[in-house]
Structure 1
Amino acid sequence: MSLRFSLMGPVRAWRDDDEIDLGPRQQRAVLAALLLNNGIRLSNDQLVGMVWDAPTPSAVMALRTYMYKIRKALPELDLRSRDGGYTVRAELVDDCRGEPLEGLQGIYFEAQRVRLAERRLQSREEWLERELDILELQKHVASYPLRERPRALLMHALFREGRQAEALDHFHQARALLTEELGLEPGPDLREAHARILRGELHLPRRPEQLPPDVADFTGRAHEIARALEVLPGTVGITGMHGSGKTALAVRIGHLVRHRFPDGQIFVQGHDVAHELLRAVGVENPAGDKAALWREKARGKRFLVVVDDLQDVSSLKNLHVPGSALVVTSVRRWNELPGVTWLKIAGLAPAEAGEFFGEVAGAAKIAGEQEVVARVLARVSHLPNPIRVLGGKLSARPSWTATMLLTQMERETVLGDAVPSDCRAVLAPMIKADAQLTEAERHLLDCFARRGDEVINVCEAAEMTGAEIGTLELLLESLADVHLLEPLELGHYRIPAFVQLFYGLRTLAPTS
């Protein structure tokens, strides 16, 4: 269920597609004050000062009454008094209905109205800079004739269309207007555009659009997405085992927020992150301090950067730029990175995994076999990537049922290495994870698989392997760091079903 608000026009709220009655003007003013300070704690005194220009002693009681009514209308906001104040975290949208904060009066709201109107104007001009649509720019310039930035953009757009004479003529028109109305010469934006057109040097800055396509059948992860939307433009880290869908989640988040980052989206895979960022903005052979050069190029801009499958934490050092956002995916959680909000993902919720499997395999195909489907999905720990392979396999075999698929999976469990290629596709995340382990880590997981228990403790691991407890604790924690074991209470670990399946196959493989 989605809750969103708008301050651009009357104060409004929607729950999904249904608009919510927000009550009388003063009650809406209280809510507006909270929303204008999204994520910031406001004391009772601060709220009273914002809503009432000349508050009387009864204002505090009125504030409490309005808070009670807002809580009843919007329970999702969790609007309870904490430390003598209130905090709201909400999604704000611009529905472009008219004057911001329409109907609200007072010194505070008048100042905020001016600020919001300017922000809307800047957002519009950022869109115009991205699109460089001549007709839209001409309309905007006609509405705001003294704003120089859109005039410079119009000159860019005309020049790009081969209309150099019109672009230069537009500069002279702007100069005459500014001189007549304000007694001023054109500012640096207009003068630079004019000079570069005369020199034939006007080139548009590169705007990277590297975000991969969104996954059409993306399923679940609502909580993680909501948390990421709260944090951005801060730094979000997504961690989980191979096959858990970290990249798909990062891309979905990126598409949901791309409108917030008008200067572009950059998608990086590799060790030299700064080098790839600079290449994305047109620096082909960066040298020297690449991090410093990236900060210089990105200063004052808003980029969305997705670093996928981070391998070297040092490659992100000193790359943060205020206003830009960073989404990092990694099997390992890099706790040494400052200012990161980490989201840990594993398998989908069982209901979501079933829904996703039905999307891929065909809902009609698995109708009436829900218990069997649940067993199939549990064997791969409800991980999205193996589910996609299994669903595709079932879809490609018109005469097969989910029961037949489960039967084959059970047969493959006792075949050791002699498994079909499509089974290897299901196991691909585990094959990749296994390749990154030490021999000691593999041996420990083999021992777990032979024992067959879901939960095991350090003492039992020592009994199985004959290793020292101190050594085992390091190995167990290392495996937990890459999500091949799930840490429970101190010294106890659970082995996920998919990991158990893979290492069970290994232990049954024929030896030479």
Structure 2
Amino acid sequence: MSLCFSLMGPVRAWRDDEEIELGPRQQRAVLAALLLNNGIRLSNEQLIGMVWDDPTPSAVMALRTYMYKIRKALPELHLRSKDGGYTIRAEIVDDCRGEPLEGLQGSYFEAQRVRLGERRLKAREDWLERELDVLELQKHVAAHPLRERPRALLMYALFREGRQAEALDHFHQARALLNEELGIEPGQDLRKMHAQILKGDLHLPRRPEQLPPDLADFTGRTTEIARILDALPGTVGITGMRGSGKTALATRIGHLVRHRFPDGRIFVRSHDVANELLRAVGVENPSGDKAALWREKARGKRFLIVIDDVQDAASVRDLVTPGSGLVLTSVRRLNELPGVTWVKIGGLTEWESHEFFRKILDPGRVDAEPEHAEVLLQRVSRLPNPIRVIGGKLSSRPHWTIEMVLEQMERESKLGRAVPSDCAATLAPLIKAEQELSEDERHLLMCFARRDADVIDIHEAAEMSGGDPGAIELVLESLADVHLIEPLVLGRYRLPQFVRVYFGLRTPVLTS
């Protein structure tokens, strides 16, 4: 069960979704004093001074009574007297319900009410500065007409939209109001914004938005997404075999965290990563140390950066900046990079693969052949890319059944093809992976596949290929690094069915 509190409006508490009765006003005042000093030990004298402006001797007994009732209502707090005082540790939320500490009286709570109100306004204005939403800024300025910061932000947002006259008019409104209400002139920031708009030298920052569109049919990866979201901002690496959906997952993450990175989202697929990052923020043809220049440009900013298909650690090693999030996708896990949270993905789960298949193909057609659908999904190791391609083929052939596709795949397999000839896109990840293999890796993988077994050990692999077990282990580990085989325990590996079908039909090359 979770327990949370709010100090915005009346002091309130919830256990999960159920609100808890907190008792009379003075009892809530005692709880509020503890919550306002979350994690700090307060003595009995300090608590009494906060809750009662002019305490009487009976305040000591009243405090004990209230503490007893608070402990009884909220046993999860483990609120116990220690060294003549109390400490509370709790989750406090801002649910924006009204005036802070509503109904609580006394000089201490009046001062805290002002502090909390100012903190709430600052948090709201920080958000407005990130978003620069004209409508929301107009509402805020109308509610707080004497605050200069949101007025300057509104002028900037209007200027950015090409509404220069409206932006200048807001300065004159603010000047008249400040003179009339307070007898003062606008502050330096407001005057500077006015002068820059008049001169036309207000430079608008470049906010890159380069992420590819999110996939409407994206399915699953719940655990992986939760882990990545928890690691950001920071550096996250997504690794897995080709066709497993690394780019789609990175893109989904980028769209989910949009509001956490207000300075923009950058997508790079290049060997010269630093150069592309600089171009994204408006630096053309940079020279010298590009990584250092990028760190300078990104200082104090919050970017979300997705670097797709990273080939080597050197291209991304020096690009991390505080406050920005970095998401890498790579077939190989780049263990030499420090401070990276690595997330490995493979095929979808059984439920996820069926759900994804039903999004690509008419659900009625999938549900009509559950057993054949399962065989098909197993054959492609539940990888998103081949599921999408084969599902697309079936969609273009409304009179075909899943069983027909399986029969065609079986016929063409006997002729030396792993999938129907017009579904070459299904094989694209494995074709690309094969091109990057050494002759020894390719030969061993073909021997492994022709063995037609899920699991094999080093000695069996050495016997099949005719190589030395020590050398074979290095080759097997290299294949595991690119996820073409899956390491189990030391010396034993599993071959995914999709890889086995493809490489089992290739012609082995004899090595010396």
State the match for 1:503 in structure 2: 503
Counterpart CA distance in 2 for 1:207 and 1:420 is 45
Counterpart CA distance in 1 for 2:198 and 2:408 is 72
Q: Tell me the alpha carbon deviations over residues 69-93 of structure 1, each in whole angstroms, 9 at most, x when there is no partner.
A: 99xxxxxxxxxxxxxx9999x9x99
Amino acid at match of 1:426: T
1:465 equivalent to 2:426? Answer: no
1:263 equivalent to 2:258? Answer: no
Q: How far is 1:260 from its partner?
A: 1.4
Amino acid at match of 1:140: H
Amino acid at match of 1:368: A
State the match for 1:301 in structure 2: 301
297-306 vs 384-393, which moves further:
297-306
Contact 1:8 1:97 in 2 (8 A): no
State the match for 2:290 in structure 1: 290
Amino acid at match of 2:18: D
Counterpart CA distance in 1 for 2:5 and 2:66 is 29
Counterpart CA distance in 1 for 2:36 and 2:232 is 17
Contact 2:241 2:484 in 1 (8 A): yes
Amino acid at match of 1:300: G
State the match for 1:23 in structure 2: 20
Question: Which structure 2 residues correspond to residues 85-484 of structure 1 after superposition, within 5 A?
Answer: 96-99=96-99, 115-127=119-131, 129=132, 131=133, 133=134, 135-160=135-160, 164=164, 166-171=166-171, 173-174=173-174, 189-417=189-417, 420-484=420-484
**Alignment size in residue pairs:** 476
Q: Alignment partner of 1:506: what SS?
A: coil
- Unaligned runs of 5+ residues in structure 1 are 71-84
1:494 equivalent to 2:498? Answer: no
Q: How far is 1:245 from its partner?
A: 0.7
Contact 1:485 1:494 in 2 (8 A): yes
Of all paired residues, the percent bearing the same amino acid is: 62
Amino acid at match of 1:452: D
Counterpart CA distance in 2 for 1:507 and 1:177 is 84
Contact 2:224 2:343 in 1 (8 A): yes
Q: How far is 1:497 from its partner?
A: 0.7
Query: Which structure: larger Rg?
Result: 2
Amino acid at match of 2:137: L
404-413 vs 184-193, which moves further:
184-193
Counterpart CA distance in 2 for 1:33 and 1:431 is 66
Amino acid at match of 1:126: R
Change (3 A) 1:161 1:484: closer
Change (3 A) 1:160 1:490: closer
Contact 1:22 1:28 in 2 (8 A): no
175-184 vs 139-148, which moves further:
175-184
State the match for 1:73 in structure 2: none
Amino acid at match of 1:258: R
250-259 vs 142-151, which moves further:
142-151
Amino acid at match of 1:359: K
TM-score (normalised: structure 1): 0.80
Change (3 A) 1:22 1:319: farther
Q: How far is 1:240 from its partner?
A: 0.8
Counterpart CA distance in 1 for 2:356 and 2:3 is 27
Change (3 A) 1:139 1:23: closer
Change (3 A) 1:220 1:12: farther
Change (3 A) 1:189 1:470: farther
Counterpart CA distance in 2 for 1:64 and 1:233 is 40
Q: How far is 1:433 from its partner?
A: 1.1
Change (3 A) 1:64 1:434: farther
Contact 1:196 1:202 in 2 (8 A): yes
Counterpart CA distance in 2 for 1:8 and 1:143 is 21
State the match for 2:54 in structure 1: none
Contact 1:488 1:494 in 2 (8 A): yes
Amino acid at match of 1:23: I
Q: How far is 1:118 from its partner?
A: 2.5
Q: Alignment partner of 1:207: what SS?
A: coil
Q: How far is 1:306 from its partner?
A: 1.0
Q: Tell me the alpha carbon deviations over residues 404-432 of structure 1, each in whole angstroms, 9 at most, x when there is no partner.
A: 11111222222215964433211111111
Change (3 A) 1:475 1:283: same
Contact 1:100 1:116 in 2 (8 A): no
Counterpart CA distance in 1 for 2:29 and 2:493 is 52
Contact 2:240 2:344 in 1 (8 A): yes
Q: Tell me the alpha carbon deviations over residues 250-287 of structure 1, each in whole angstroms, 9 at most, x when there is no partner.
A: 11111111011111111111122221111111112222
**Cα RMSD, aligned residues only:** 4.1
Amino acid at match of 2:394: L
92-101 vs 203-212, which moves further:
92-101
Question: Which structure 2 residues correspond to residues 43-58 of structure 1 after superposition, within 5 A?
Answer: 46=39, 53=47
